[in-house]
Chain A
Amino acid sequence: MFLLKASEALGSHFLYYVNQAGRMGIFLLRVFYNILKLPYYKVTHITKQIYVIGTLSIFVIFFTGAFTGMVLALQGYNTLRKFGSEGLLGSAVALSLIRELGPVLTALMVTGRAGSAICAEIGIMRNSEQIDALECMAIDPHKYILAPKFIATIISMPLLTAIFDVVGILGGYVIGVGLMGLNAGAYFSGMYKDVEFNDVYMGIIKSLCFGLIVVWVCSSKGYFVHTERKGGFGAEGVSRVTTSAVVLSSVAILVFDYFITSLLL
C-alpha cells in the first residue's frame, strides 16, 4: 500500500514537471513565432522595455562591476605577487571579467532586479484576468506583452555586460594602480596583449544566452502562475512563483555557464 502511494506520488510529480517543461517549451516557441510574425512592433513598446529592463539596471550593474573589479585586483595582486607576476594583473582582471564574471554576475543581477519584476508583473496580470482580457480582445499576449520583453532583455544583456566589464576593469585599475602602486602602462598593455577576440566573443555569446534564460524562465513562471502545483492564486501565489523564478533562473545561469564554457573553449 505504502509502495503504491509512493509510486503514485512520484508519478504525479514526474507528470507535473514534464507538463510544466512542455508548457515552457511551447511558450518559448510561441514567443519566437510572434517576434518574427508581422506586423512588427511600435518602437515605443520595445524602447519602454529596454528602459525598464536595461537602463534602470545600469546603476546596480555599475556598482557590482566596480566592486567586483576592485576585489579581483586586490586578491589577484596579492596572489600574483607571490610568484612575482604583478604585471599580469591587468590581464587577469580583464580575462576573468570578460570571459566569466561579467556575463554571469550581470545575468544574476538582472535576474534579481528585472527578472523578478517581469515575473511578478505577468503573474499579477494573469491573476487579475488582464491576460484573459487581452485574449478576448483578440490581442495575443505573446505578441503584446511577452515579445517586447524578450527582445529588450536580449538586447540589454550584452550591453549591460559590456558596462560591467569596463567598469570592473577600471575598478581593478583603481586598486592595482592607485592603491597597490602597479604601473598603469603595465596594467593596460598586458590586457591589450592577452585579451583576444575569442574572449570577447565568448562573453557576448554567454550574455545573449543568459538574457534568454532570464526572460524565458521569469516570464513563463509568471504566465503560468495559475497552473502552479501549490496554488498560484493571490499575492502569496505570485510571491511564491517569483521566488521560484529567481532561484530557477539563477541556477540555470550557472549550469549553462559551465556548458557554454566547455563548448566554446
Chain B
Amino acid sequence: MAIHLIRPAVLVTAGTILLAMAGGPVHAQQSSPAPAATIPHTAKGKPDLSGVWITGALQLLIGEEEAAAYRKADAEAGRPMFRREPPPYTPVAEAKRQEYLARRGIDDPMARCLISGVPRITTRPLPFEIVQLPDRIIILYEAHHAFRIIPTDGRPHPPDIEPSYLGDSVGHWEGDTLVVDVIGFNTNTWLAGVGTIHSEKLHVTERYTRDTFGTVIYDVTIEDPEVFTKPWLQQEIFRLRPNERLREYECIENNEDLIRFEKLLQTEPIYTRPTVR
C-alpha cells in the first residue's frame, strides 16, 4: 500500500543553500560541506545517494550546538517540521508497550547489543554510509557493524527468507525517489523506541528522496496487521557529512548493562513481576 506523508515541496535555491551553509556549524572534525548546490546523479540518471549520513538524535552525535545549527538552517530553508505520530497499536499491543515502558526499557534488545531493525537502525545516533552501485545499493551502518544489500535490478524478494533483524530488502526507483521494500523480520527488534514491538508480518517501506545536496528526506511506512490498526508513518532528514567516516562501534566489548540488568531483574520489584512476553 503506497501511503506516505504529504510533504510540501521544498524549494531550494542556491541562495538558500549558501545561507544555510553560512549559518552552518563549525565542529572540531567537520568543516563546512563542499559548495556544491546540485544533487549528483548516476550514469543512469538517478540521484546518487552515496555518502556518509547522519539522522535521528543529532545532538547526541554532534553536540547540541551543531544540531541546533541544522535546525536553524531547516527553518531558514522552509523545511517542514515533521509530525511525530504515536504508534497506532491495537489495544492489546499498546498494553504491551505500556508495560515495557513501565519496566523502564530494561527489555530493550538494543541494550543487549542485538542488531537494531528497520527503521530503528537508521535513527541511531551513529552515521551510516550509502554506496550506490548500478544494480544495488549497500548501506553500511556504524551501529553493530551492520549492513544491508538492496538489489535495484528488479528482482523480487527471494523465496527462502529466514526471519532476521534487518529483514530482506529490495529496491526500485519511483522518479527520483528510491523505494525500498523490507519484509522477513524476526521479532527481536523494536521499531522506534521502548516497547515498539512488531510481529513477523512486519512490512516496512522506505522512501529515500535526496531533496538537496546536503539532505535526504526519509519517509517510512510501517505496516503490521498483527499489532497496528493502520500504517505507522515516520519521517527523518538525513544530513550529509562529507568529511565524516565510519568508525568502529563494538557494542558487546564491556557491556556492563548486562550485569546490572541481571541484578535489577532479581532485586527491583518493578522488574521482578511477570514480563509481558
Q: Do these two chains interact?
A: no
CB within 8 Å of A: which residues of B?
Answer: none
